[in-house]
Structure 1
Amino acid sequence: MSRWKPLPAELDPRVRQLVVRLRRLKDHSGLNVRQLAARTEYSPKSWERYFGARALPPVPAVAALARVCGEDPTRLLALREVAAEAWPTAVPDADPDTGPDADANPEQEPEPDTEPDIVLSKRPPLSPERRVLRIALVAGSVTLVLVVVSAVLVTVRLMDGRDAGTGRSSTAPLATPASASPSPYSCRVERVGGHWYAGNSRTQQENLAVGSNGPDVAEAQCLLRRAGISPGGIDGMFGPLTEHAVKQFQERAGLDADGMVGPHTWKALRA
């Protein structure tokens, strides 16, 4: 087993833990740095720097060491990530000529192999760059949530305001304006037995006045139109236009122009 040069006392614990685990794997494999270099893409000098804490081993080198030693690289890579955060200020100057291989000075005592494991769940403080990035991501997420919630609230309030103004439920279909609705009445004027009929009613006695509605009114409107006097639309509603048309017809027929349709007016309309 190799006799390792003790690591500097001021070395950051996160870096120390990584280096100790690298040394353990190398010792358990029974390989020296030359043999290790032959099985990886890294030179003996590179491995000496990694084992001596003079350089941070790259991720591929850590994975290669784990592969050669038959170790799962997951935990080793996690230790390497933790050590990388402390590396820029953690590694003291070291003697570049000192190597950690099996040919090292045999009088040097091996460093105790009892370094405490780093608890990965207690991660070290984030670097300033990562802290700024995390704050920016959190702030962006909060802003997005607030925008979505605000949009939903505005939509709900607009719908509530519209429903309150119209007295309709938000799920009720909009009523079609009366002017856009097709009239259920039509004029199919024909002469039967000496009398005119428009196909809506055959009454000759119904009394109609402003406010009346239905097929009797539509019948009177059709007959007024046949007589050349427009009552407005054929909608079955006895309104001012229909009343005015009735008065015109009554004056022309020599009847009392009261604007109401009674038996005498019916008789004149159907004659």
Structure 2
Amino acid sequence: MSRWKGLPASLDHRVRHLVVQLRRLKDHSGLSLAALAARTSYSKSSWERYLNGKKLPPRAAVEALARVCEADVPRLLALHEVAEQAWNAERPGPPPQPRAERDGKAETAGKAGKAGKNERAETAEAGETAEVGETAAKTEKPVPAATVTATATATDAPPVSGRGMPFGPLVLGALAVLVAAGAVLLVARLWEDANGIGRGAGAAMTAGGTDAAPAFTHRPGEVFGCHVQRSAGALYAGHSRTDTAVLGSGASGWDVVEAQCLLRHQGYDPGGVDGIVGGRTVRAVKRLQARFKLPTDGIVGPDTWKVLRR
């Protein structure tokens, strides 16, 4: 297992969560950075920056690593989308261009176009043959005043409703707000699915599956009950039926409550069953992993779930 450097303290927790998952996949694959570079289109130095939190890996790099390690590609891409938003939020783009400067550039471009048009007209008028003269006449045929007026009105004046109020900009603004709200809800749902939030509930879980469960919430000092039973040859504590969720330090949700209950049942004290992966929970996971000869990274993944469900 690689000895990784500590991630920068300033790194957002969503970016940190993505990097931890990528490190874990790389370790479990047994590939070195050089071997990883040979099997993807990214260099060894690029992977070193991505896996040490120096640079956010591009979406294609995350997908390539997931495919090389035979991991869940959609789940890792969802984590990358959330991490990318956090990364970009801390690095704002260039300030918008002042309106006066934009208007000046537009006016300059308009004058240049008019000058070019006049030059072409003069060339056509200076032709020596009737054909050239006729072509120039057709090219420079004046546009009717009504057409010019209608074009200027359609270009310069915003569309209005029956009462004279701007209508087009209001509709476009409302559509933009709806699209942005939809995107935020989609990203939030993906983040919840990736971290096991809002899934499973003790009272709603049955041997055949789970019904609708309340979203996970935690109040200081609150702990949850554990009712470990065996169903279809596997142990369940009544909070989640997952066997694939990846739970690292700082993760929270019903999947964490399930893991903490099973750790306690197996004889490894995770501290209070509060649904949050803290230091005591990480140490309990490491002891369990060491006993069953798993990588002692303190992260509950598919291999650790198999041991917990025995």
TM-score bucket of the superposed structures, by smaller chain? 0.3 to 0.5
TM-score by length of 2: 0.30
Q: Whose radius of gyration is greater, 1 or 2?
A: 1
Question: Could you state the TM-score of these two structures normalised by the residue count of structure 1?
Answer: 0.34
Would you tell me which structure has more helix in proportion to its own residues? 2
